[in-house]
């Protein structure tokens, strides 16, 4: 349950930071890291939920655009990038790259959390 909530939150905040701010394309890395900092999960779960949140978000956003566009632009772009002729592949690559950045950012958040804990417990002692 927690995993699903974190995944959803990653997607939701990643979307919001793109819509409501004029920050660069990678600004979701900040929200993904922040979520991992705040919510404790296993290392694996942290990475996977971070990855999936943006992977699914980007795939969904790209898919909606692509279908309503009748694949016109994605077909042109796969040819420019020289990656065959599949719009679906381009959507998957889009999602994968976003997911990787988010997953790594989440792991960074995870380690930030455990480091912060260590500092705090060290201070308490």
Partner 1 sequence: MRFVYLLLSLTCTVALIWVLNTRWQVGTTKTPRIGYFLSPQKGFWQNAESVSANFNAEIKAEALNGKASVYIDGRLIPHVFAENDFDAYFVQGYLHARFRLWQMEFQTHVAAGRLSEIIGKEGLNTDRFFRRLGMVYGAEQALAASEMDSSMKNAVNAYAAGVNAYIRSLQPEQIPFEYKLLDYEPENWSPLKTYLFLMFMSFDLSGRDVNTDLQMTNAKNYFGWDNYKKLYPNVMDSLDPIIPKGTTFSPASFRPQTPSDAAIRFFGKNDSSVQQSAKNLLFNVPTPDAGNGSNNWAVAGSKTKSKAPILCNDPHLGLNLPSLWFEMQITTPTYNTYGASFPGSPAIVIGFNDSIAWGVTNAGRDVMDLYNIRFKDELKKEYLMNGNWILSEQRQEVIQVRDEANLSEVVPITQYGPVLYDNEFNTPDARGLTLAVKWTANFANAGMKAFYLLNRAKNYKDYVTAIKNWTCPGQNFVFASKSGDIAIRQQGSFVAKWKHQGDFIMPGTDSIYQWQRMIPMDENPTIKNPTRGFVSSANQKPTDSTYPYYLGSAHHFPLYRGIIINRKLTGSNNITPDDMMKMQTSNYNVFAEMARPVLLKYLDKDNLSPVEKKYIDLLETWNLKADPQEKGATVFSCIWDSLENAVWGDELAGSKLKLPVPDSYSLLERMLKGTADFMADNITTKDKVETIQDAVLTACRKACKELEVLEQTGKLEWAKRKDTYVQHLLKIPSLSRLHLPIGGGEDIINATKSNHGPGWRMVVHLTAETEAYCIYAGGQSGNPGSIYYDTFINSWVEGTYYKALFLKNEDAATGDQIKWKMNFIKN
Which spans of this chain sit near partner 1 (rule: CB under 8 A)? 15, 18-19, 22, 24-26, 29, 33, 57-58, 61-62, 65-66, 68-70, 72-77, 79-80, 90, 93-94, 97-98, 100-101, 104-105, 107-108, 110-112, 114-115, 118
Q: In which residue are the tokens 């790594």 written?
A: 104
**Cα–Cα distance measured from residue 45 to residue 113, given in angstroms and rounded to the nearest whole number:** 15
Give 1 or 81: the residue with its C-beta nearer to partner 1.
81
Tell me which residue of 60, 50, 66 sits closest to 8, measured CA to CA.
Answer: 50
CB of 11 to partner 1, least distance (A): 12
Please tell me what DSSP assigns to residue 40: -
Q: In which residue are the tokens 């599949």 written?
A: 86
CB of 54 to partner 1, least distance (A): 10
Helix (H/G/I), strand (E/B), else coil: 89? helix
CB of 2 to partner 1, least distance (A): 21
């Amino acid at each position: 349950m927690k995993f699903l909530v974190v995944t959803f939150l990653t997607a939701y905040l990643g979307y919001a930071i793109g819509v409501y701010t004029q920050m660069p394309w990678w600004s979701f890395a900040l929200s993904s890291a922040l979520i991992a900092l705040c919510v404790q999960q296993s290392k694996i779960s942290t990475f996977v939920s971070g990855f999936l949140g943006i992977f699914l978000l980007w795939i969904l956003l790209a898919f909606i655009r692509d279908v309503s566009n009748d694949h016109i632009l994605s077909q042109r772009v796969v040819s420019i990038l020289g990656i065959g002729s599949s719009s679906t592949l381009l959507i998957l690559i889009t999602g994968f790259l976003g997911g990787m950045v988010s997953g790594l950012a989440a792991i960074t958040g995870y380690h930030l959390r455990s480091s912060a804990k260590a500092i705090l417990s060290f201070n308490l002692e």
